[in-house]
C-alpha cells in the first residue's frame, strides 16, 4: 500500500492542465452499452474509477480498448447481464450501468454499490425511477435484479431528502432513451456531468431536452448508434488545485477549465481573499493577502459542491477568524476533521456543520485518509503545514485524481509517493 509524503511550506507556482471529469465519464461509458456500435470517448482521466467501470463493461462481454485518454467501446453481443460484487462494491458510480443494461438487454443484475464511506447514500431514487418506467425490481443475495420486457415513458419526480441525485438522474435518463413514449423527469440533477451525459446520448440519436434544468424531457427512440465524444474538464479537480494555490499563498494557472462550472467555488475563494483571473481557456489563482474566514454551505449544482467541502475546510483551518462549513448533501461527511485536528487545526462538529477556528499554521503529522475527497484535503493541509506530513491509505486518492503528486510537483510542491 502506498502513502504520500509531503514536506510543507512551499509556495506553489506554475501551470498544469486539468484532466477530464471522472464524474462525467463514468455514466458516459455506461451509456455506450445502449448500442451495438462502437463509441469513442476522449479526454478520459487515468484514474482507478475509470478502470473499474471498464472492467465492469468487460465483465458483460463487451470489448473495450483503452489507450491514453481515449477509450473505445464495442458492445456487440453481451455474454452477461451481471455487474459483479467484487467490482461494484469498490465504487458507487458502478450502479449507473443498471439503467443502460435494463433498456438494452431487458435485464440487469447489479451488486449493491460501494465506494467512499461518507454517509448513507441509498439507491431508492434510482429504483423509483426505473420502476416508474415499468421495471420489476427485486433484491437477491446482495444484488439488484431488474427486468422489463418493454420500458414505457412516464412522469417521474426524482427529488430526494438532500436534493436531486446525479446518478439516479443519469440512470433514468439512459433507461428512458429506449423506452416507448415520452419521459419527463422533474427534480432532476442539473450538474454539468448530467449535461455532458445528455449531450453524448443525443449524439447517439436520443431525444433529450432540458438536461441543464430540473425538468428533463426524453422522447424514446427505437435504436441508438455509436458516437464520438470529448468529456468535459473535471471541475472538482480544478477546484482542488485552486484551493492548493490558495492554501500555499501561491500563483498557479490551470488550463482546460470551464469557468461556468466553477461559479460558486470562484465566488467563495474571492470572498476569502484569493485573486482569480479568467483567461482564454485558463484560470489563474493567486493569493497575496491573508485569508479571511467565510461561511460555506454545500448544495446541489450550481451551489457549492460537496466534493470540495473537505478541501475548503482545510483552507479555512488556516484562515483568521471563525468559519462555518455546513454540509447539506451528505451531513456525515466530516471524517477528515479528526485528521486535520491532528495537524493542529481547531475544528468542531455541531450537527451538519463544522465550526472552524482558524490557526496561524498547521504542523505536519501522520494522517489517514477516509475517502476520496478527504485524501485531497489532507494533502492540501500537508502543503501548508510545517514539517513532514504522511498521508496513508491513498488508494482513495487514486480513484479520482490523475497523478496528483506529479501535478503538484510541477507546481513546486515537495511531495512524493512511497510504499508503506
Catalytic residue IDs: 116
Distance CA 198, CA 20 (A): 17
Distance CA 397, CA 236 (A): 13
| DSSP states of 149-212 | S--B--EEE--BTTB--HHHHHHHHHHHTTSBSEEEEES----HHHHHHHHHHHHTT-EEE-TT
Distance CA 49, CA 30 (A): 13
CB 364 within 8 A of CB 387: yes
- CA angle 189-195-196, nearest 5°? 130
* Residues pairing with 357 in the sheet: 322, 346
If one counts every other C-beta atom within 10 angstroms of the C-beta of residue 61, the result is 13
275-278 sheet: strands from edge to edge: 13-17, 251-255, 282-286, 275-278
For cell 512511497, what's the residue?
418
CA dihedral 302, 351, 161, 305 (to 10 degrees): 20
Quick one: cell of 254?
490551470
Q: Which residues touch 377 (CB under 8 Å, ≥6 apart)?
A: 310, 311, 313, 314, 336, 340
* Residues pairing with 322 in the sheet: 357
Q: Which residues touch 238 (CB under 8 Å, ≥6 apart)?
A: 18, 254, 257, 261, 262, 283
For cell 447539506, what's the residue?
328
List the alpha helices (DSSP H) in 177-329.
192-203, 235-247, 263-271, 309-316
Quick one: cell of 207?
431525444
Amino acid at each position: 500500500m502506498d502513502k504520500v509524503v509531503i514536506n510543507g511550506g512551499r509556495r506553489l507556482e506554475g501551470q498544469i492542465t486539468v484532466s477530464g471529469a471522472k464524474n462525467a465519464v463514468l455514466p458516459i461509458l455506461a451509456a455506450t452499452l445502449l448500442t451495438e456500435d462502437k463509441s469513442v470517448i476522449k479526454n478520459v482521466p487515468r484514474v482507478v474509477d475509470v478502470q473499474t467501470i471498464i472492467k465492469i463493461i468487460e465483465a458483460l462481454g463487451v470489448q473495450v480498448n483503452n489507450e491514453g485518454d481515449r477509450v473505445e467501446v464495442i458492445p456487440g453481443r453481451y455474454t452477461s447481464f451481471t455487474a459483479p460484487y467484487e467490482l461494484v462494491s469498490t465504487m458507487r458510480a458502478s450502479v449507473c450501468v443498471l439503467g443502460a443494461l435494463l433498456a438494452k438487454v431487458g435485464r440487469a443484475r447489479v451488486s449493491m454499490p460501494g465506494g467512499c464511506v461518507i454517509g448513507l447514500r441509498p439507491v431508492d431514487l434510482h429504483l423509483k425511477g426505473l420502476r416508474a418506467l415499468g421495471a420489476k425490481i427485486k433484491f437477491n443475495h446482495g444484488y439488484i435484479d431488474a427486468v422489463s420486457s418493454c420500458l414505457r415513458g412516464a412522469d417521474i419526480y426524482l427529488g430526494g431528502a438532500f436534493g436531486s441525485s446525479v446518478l439516479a438522474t443519469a440512470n433514468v435518463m439512459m433507461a428512458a432513451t429506449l423506452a416507448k413514449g415520452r419521459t419527463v423527469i422533474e427534480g432532476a440533477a442539473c450538474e454539468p456531468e448530467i449535461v455532458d451525459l445528455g449531450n453524448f446520448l443525443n449524439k447517439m440519436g436520443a431525444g433529450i431536452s432540458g438536461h441543464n434544468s430540473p425538468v428533463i424531457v426524453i422522447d424514446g427512440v427505437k435504436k441508438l448508434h455509436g458516437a464520438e465524444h470529448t468529456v468535459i474538464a473535471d471541475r472538482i479537480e480544478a477546484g482542488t488545485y485552486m484551493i492548493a494555490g490558495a492554501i500555499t499563498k501561491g500563483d498557479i494557472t490551470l488550463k482546460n477549465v470551464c469557468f461556468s462550472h466553477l461559479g460558486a467555488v470562484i465566488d467563495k475563494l474571492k470572498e476569502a481573499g484569493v485573486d482569480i483571473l479568467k483567461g482564454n481557456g485558463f484560470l489563474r489563482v493567486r493569493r497575496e493577502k491573508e485569508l479571511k474566514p467565510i461561511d460555506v454551505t454545500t448544495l446541489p449544482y450550481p451551489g457549492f459542491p460537496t466534493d470540495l467541502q473537505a478541501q475548503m475546510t482545510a483552507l479555512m483551518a488556516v484562515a483568521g477568524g471563525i468559519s462555518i462549513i455546513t454540509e447539506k448533501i451528505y451531513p456525515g461527511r466530516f471524517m477528515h476533521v479528526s485528521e486535520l485536528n491532528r495537524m493542529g487545526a481547531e475544528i468542531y462538529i455541531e450537527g451538519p456543520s463544522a465550526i472552524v477556528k482558524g490557526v496561524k499554521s498547521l504542523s505536519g503529522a501522520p494522517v489517514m485518509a477516509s475517502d476520496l475527497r478527504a485524501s485531497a484535503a489532507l494533502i492540501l493541509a500537508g502543503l501548508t503545514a510545517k514539517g513532514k506530513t504522511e498521508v496513508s491509505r491513498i488508494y482513495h486518492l487514486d480513484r479520482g485524481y490523475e497523478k496528483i503528486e506529479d501535478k503538484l510537483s510541477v507546481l513546486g510542491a515537495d511531495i512524493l509517493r512511497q510504499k508503506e
